[in-house]
Amino acid sequence: QVQLVESGGGLVQAGGSLRLSCAASGRTVSSYAMGWFRQAPGKEREFVAGTRWSGGNTYIADFADSVKGRFIISRDSSKNTVILQMNSLKPEDTAVYYCAADREITTATMKDPNEYAYWGQGTQVTVSS
């Protein structure tokens, strides 16, 4: 079992930045795919960013078109943590952000929330205009 705990959400003005962290426990997640998803009120959960191990020290990252160039995903293996750095935030980025993990994710399935077995409780991000 993998337990995930997100932190770092909050209220920020448009154009600002936030740094979300996802701390994993129970197992080392270095070989797991890690994804960030978000869900706004009345909307379905959507993919934001993900990173998947591709062998050795190499990870593949992918991003939703809406956040490309603004968000960065990284790992701190020493802390078993995944970071989502969010820059140039927009009001439409407002949502609850969730961290997810799974060992069987491929490039084709990284953006599908149904493919992830482990989820955090979520952290609220609110961007004011």
For residue 95 the two structure tokens come to: 């949502």
Residue-wise pLDDT for 27-69, tens only, equals: 999 999 999 999 999 999 999 999 999 888 889 999 999 999 9
Residues 17, 85: contact at Cβ < 8 Å?
A: yes
**Mean of pLDDT over the chain:** 96
- Residue 115 confidence class, pLDDT cut points 50, 70, 90: very high
Buried b (16+ CB within 10 A) or exposed e, 92-106: ebbbbbbbbbbeebe
Task: Please compute the mean of the pLDDT values over residues 20-30 and round it to a whole number.
Answer: 95
Least confident of 18-22, 50-54, 78-82, 104-108: 104-108
The residues, any chain, with a CB within 8 Å of residue 12's CB and separated by 6 or more, are 18, 89, 125, 126, 127, 128
Is the pLDDT confidence value at 73 over 90?
Answer: yes
